[in-house]
Amino acid sequence: MPWILRMTLYLTGILIIPYIYCGWRLKNALSFLFPAKARLIKTSIIGWFVFANLLPIILISFYLTGFYDDLFIHSAEFSIWSLLFEYPFWLFLIIIIEILPYFLVSDLLMIIGKRVKSAQMLNWRKWIAIFQIGIFLIYTIFVVFRVYWDTSQIKITSYEIPVKNLPPALEKLNLVLTADIQIDRYTSAAKVARIEEGIRGLNPDLTFFAGDLVTSGTEYIEAGVRVLCNVPPGIGRIACVGDHDYWSNAGRIAQGVRDCGWDFLDNQHKIIEYENYRILVTGVRYVYSKRITPASLRELLSAAPPADLKILLVHQPSQMVIDMATEFGYHLFLAGHTHGGQLVFKPFGMTLTPTQMENSIYTGNHLVDKMNVIVSDGMGMSLVPLRYRAQAEIVKIKLVPRQEN
């Protein structure tokens, strides 16, 4: 069974009970406040439930009839069918996950409220109903806005990284990290322009790309290569392979960016000379389909030439690679892959995202021993054609001397 179909059915199976529960509670709340419209409310809720879940129904139907490969989800061009079936499915999924904790808590309060007198109970039920309807409406508006903003707009995140014994000349450098551009049929021309303008606006001296130039297939490789080739050369532009690059055509992508002056490192080292100082960049291949072994990584890092600044670039922020980079004295670890979670939920202030199950470090800047680990949230999407509370980002890095106590 294809991965997209398998994951969509898996999520639908997990969320079918929350869907039914939230729909049932919403129906009861509306019917309590508007009893004369109870039948219309019930019909509307059922219609909403069916509409929101048409995507998995369509996917499994086309799969069973042998037409799965002809579906709009495999088209090289964006289709109106995505607006009708894909986006509603994922938007409603996010809304249900967001409102579920509040519905559960309000129902718990309802159970507690049953101990009060009947006259007070009616008033209690009224306020619970208003609360549940309000939560649904608020999150519907909030989710739609955040999805649009986080998917289409690109933020610039700046970090100052302290480095022990940093040569003063290296303090002047602007380092820029990008990752997971993942150009595909969902990527608008306006977003591509924002990516290019965002990188150029940072005046990068050293630009790093942590893999995943396209999402799938080869139709968008040329467009992706153009984006990277438009990055100002500075003193260096360095990339490594990502999972989707590997599944698409890693050789073609690597050759495309090399032709316009990038270094594409595949378990290799690169020394950049700058004002009589040496900057080492080690590019490591760590993707699902071909992960470097601990023994091979140790051999690679052992053979690294000496340098005043040591940077490791990799797609996945593997803990094994992080630990070994600290062992060999790297100052900076750069990665992508995680999309910052892509879908991030914060019930009652807690942060929850599926990415946490794979990567303990999935976003931001973290100090591990004496090495800074920066994981870019990237700009693209996988499986879900949108981002939520994980805005697309470009990372700007400035090096500063570490003050020793």
Three-state SS string across 328-356, please?
A: CCCCEEEECCCHHHCECECHHHCCECHHH
Percent helix / strand / coil, the chain, rounded to 5: 50, 20, 30
pLDDT digits (tens, 9 = 90+) for 29-68: 999 999 999 999 999 999 999 999 999 999 999 999 999 9
Tokens 């080690």: give the residue: 282
Q: Is there a contact between 287 and 246 (Cβ–Cβ < 8 Å)?
A: yes
Task: Give the model's pLDDT for residue 77.
Answer: 86
Quickly tell me which residue has 């002056």 as its tokens.
Answer: 261
202 backbone dihedrals φ, ψ, rounded to 5°: -90, 0
Question: pLDDT per residue over 83-125, tens digit each?
Answer: 999 999 999 999 999 999 999 999 998 887 776 656 566 678 8
| Count of Cβ atoms closer than 10 Å to residue 398 Cβ | 13
Q: Which residues of the chain have pLDDT under 70?
A: 115-122, 404-405
- 266, burial (CB in 10 Å: exposed 0-12, middle 13-18, buried 19+): middle
Tokens of 165: 């014994």
Q: What is the pLDDT of residue 171?
A: 94
Closest CA to 245 of 283, 218, 208, 281: 218
CA atoms of 229 and 239, how far apart (whole Å): 12
Name the segment(s) of the chain with CATH classification 3.60.21.10.
155-401
Q: How many CB atoms lie within 10 A of CB 18?
A: 16
CB 103, CB 129: distance < 8 Å: no
Whether domain 155-401 has CATH 3.60.21.10: the reply is yes
HEC assignment per residue over 178-198: ECCCCECCCCCHHHHHHHHHH
Integer Rg of the chain from CA: 25
pLDDT at 52: 92
Write down the pTM of the prediction. 0.93
